[in-house]
Amino acid sequence: MRSDLIKRGVERAPHRSLLKGTGNFHDGDLNKPFIAVVNSFVDIIPGHAHLDKVGYFIKEQVRTAGGVPFIFNTIGIDDGIAMGHLGMKFSLPSRELIADCVESMIEAHRFDAMICIPNCDKIVPGMMMAAARCNIPMLFVSGGPMEAGKTQDGRSVDLINAFYAVTQHAAGELDDQALADIENHACPTCGSCSGMFTANSMNCLAEALGIALPGNGTILATSEDRRQLYADAAKRIVELALADGPKPREILTRAAFDNAMMLDMAMGGSTNTVLHILAIAREAGVDFTMKDIDDLSLRTPNICRVAPSAGKDGRLYHVEDVQAAGGIMTILGELVRGKPGLLHEDAMTVTGKTLGENIREHDIRVRNQTIRRDGLSTSKRSELSVYTENAEAGGAAVLDDLDHNRFDPLDCIRTVEQAYSPEGGLSVLYGNLAEQGAVVKTAGVDPEMLRHSGPAVIFESQEQACAGILAGEVKPGDVVVIRYEGPKGGPGMQEMLAPTSYIKSTPALAKTVALITDGRFSGGTAGACIGHVSPEAAAGGTIGLLRPGDMIDIDIPGRTLSVRLSDDELAERRKQWTAPEPRCKTGYLAKYTAMASSASTGAVLQWS
């Protein structure tokens, strides 16, 4: 075992003495594998506020299963709390810090295996990147998704409703009481926010990647059924450690990344998954590009739409609804039934079975069932969770819909024959405005905005854009351009949830205005919002050459993003362009600015 290097032999007596000082190691543990319980407990993030309880529960279960567990924690940044101010610049860069810190702990202490407990945004991919680097047996088990909230009049709400409410309140459409109602109920429990935003997208993709047990992405954080998932994961990581595999690079193959992105296309996940999957694939040594992702999108139907993307008649489903309809394995099962040969069913997973075997075992429709109630929280919530007084009256909002026959599982997770579209929920666009590509969440775009042309209204930062949109500088038909917000220019690719929410919640703009940026979007973004425009403005990309009034053409079905300027005009403007001074010249962001790569390659750090 790797851990023998720090626990065996006369010369390791000092090491054993230190280990015994922790209370976690005894003489009888010499032949047992050392398991890193890689936790991410921080109590300022609702997705992580309960992970102290979860971490200690998993530690106990690892010990019971025959391993020697040691907990360490990573940092975590809450994108919602960091949104709209300087803090958001640190969000994406924190992914690299997490990867580096996990790698450092694993290698310095020679762990035999690692069980990762992430939940939100950058923490999930950061840990995945580290797992791929270290290449020791690993397993991911997230803290689970948040329950959807319910206002006093019974409407299901989530965090995005709170962002929309800001604009609606400013416009006089909501009074103080209505605003407070949404504020108090949008996030009623611990867990990753209840829509298919970035955190839940990544936790769901972990099932398709093969690095998490079925149920990881959709069993609610407050459900007692999650306790069993934690116990199963703890037992399984000890088995993987004793067998010394399969290891991450045996699981994180090209087939696994294909499967993950096909799931993302099928369920219309966050555009941020593109950034993260590219970065994880790079760490795993797999050649995987934005072009590959778009090719998969062209072959994968969009059969599930979850908030912020609307379903039939404008209905918003949440992750708890996806669980009630069968979960991730049922989404994948519909792909297997409707498009045989699309998924790589022979891809290996941490269960010791192939993805195809996992699907056949856990897809409820294989058993001719359409509804499942397990994995949903009831009024008796798990002791391994945290919830507010606003959640005490009842459990998951979908339970009431199930009891009153208001929930159609075959609409929540559709068959391929009834797909929203024959192509995936994400698209990659190219053109003279995005020579290396740009990404759009097609599943969240209104049909009338799939093709759009309009004059550019240019803002040099997210903050400037927010002020301009609220001040009425954007008119119906415009294309909002927010630039110098890329990996280097931002730095750190701030999420654009505030300006996109302002547009989406303004009726005159919601279905008439597009937005493009070299920054990125929250998984909660909906509308004709195109991000990751590459090359970015700070690297001399065409987006930095635009001038107010330039006509921009967007054709999402045709996969193009262009500006109506000749090559000669662009060449002339490029001669006149000079790179701006870096916005950050000290601290971590200065280092990130110097080393960050393009969004088209995952915005990873490069130093050679």
pLDDT digits (tens, 9 = 90+) for 389-437: 888 878 999 999 999 999 999 999 999 999 999 999 999 999 999 999 9
Report residue 59's pLDDT band, with 50, 70 and 90 as the boundaries: very high
- Note the pTM of the prediction, 2 decimals: 0.95
CA–CA separation, 429 and 438 (whole Å)? 5
Residues 480-532 pLDDT 10s: 999 999 999 999 999 888 888 889 888 899 999 999 999 998 877 778 999 99
Report residue 132's pLDDT band, with 50, 70 and 90 as the boundaries: very high
Strands (DSSP E) contained in 56-125 are 68-73, 113-117
Pairing of strands 560-563, 551-555: antiparallel
Percent of the chain's residues with pLDDT above 70? 100
Average pLDDT for 127-146: 98
Six-digit token string for 432: 């003279």
Distances (CA, A) of 139 to 51, 106, 380: 16, 14, 28
**What would the 3-class secondary structure string for 490-523 be?**
CCCCCECHHHHHHHHCCHHHHCCCEEEECCECCC
CA–CA separation, 191 and 174 (whole Å)? 27
> For residue 561, is pLDDT > 90?
yes
> For residue 443, is pLDDT > 90?
no
Per-residue burial over 531-565, b = 16 or more CB atoms within 10 Å of its CB, e = otherwise: bbbbbbbbbebbbbbbeeebebbbebeebbbbbeb
User: How would you class 176 by CB atoms within 10 Å of its CB: exposed for 0-12, middle for 13-18, buried for 19 or more?
Assistant: exposed
Among this protein's residues, is 427 annotated catalytic? no
Report residue 386's pLDDT band, with 50, 70 and 90 as the boundaries: very high
> For residue 313, is pLDDT > 90?
no
Percent of the chain's residues with pLDDT above 90? 89
Active-site residue (options: 40, 297, 522, 534): 522
pLDDT at 444: 87
- Kind and range of the H or E run holding 19: helix 13-21
pLDDT at 478: 98
pLDDT at 578: 94
> For residue 345, is pLDDT > 80?
yes
Residues 227-264 pLDDT 10s: 999 999 999 999 999 999 999 999 999 999 999 999 99
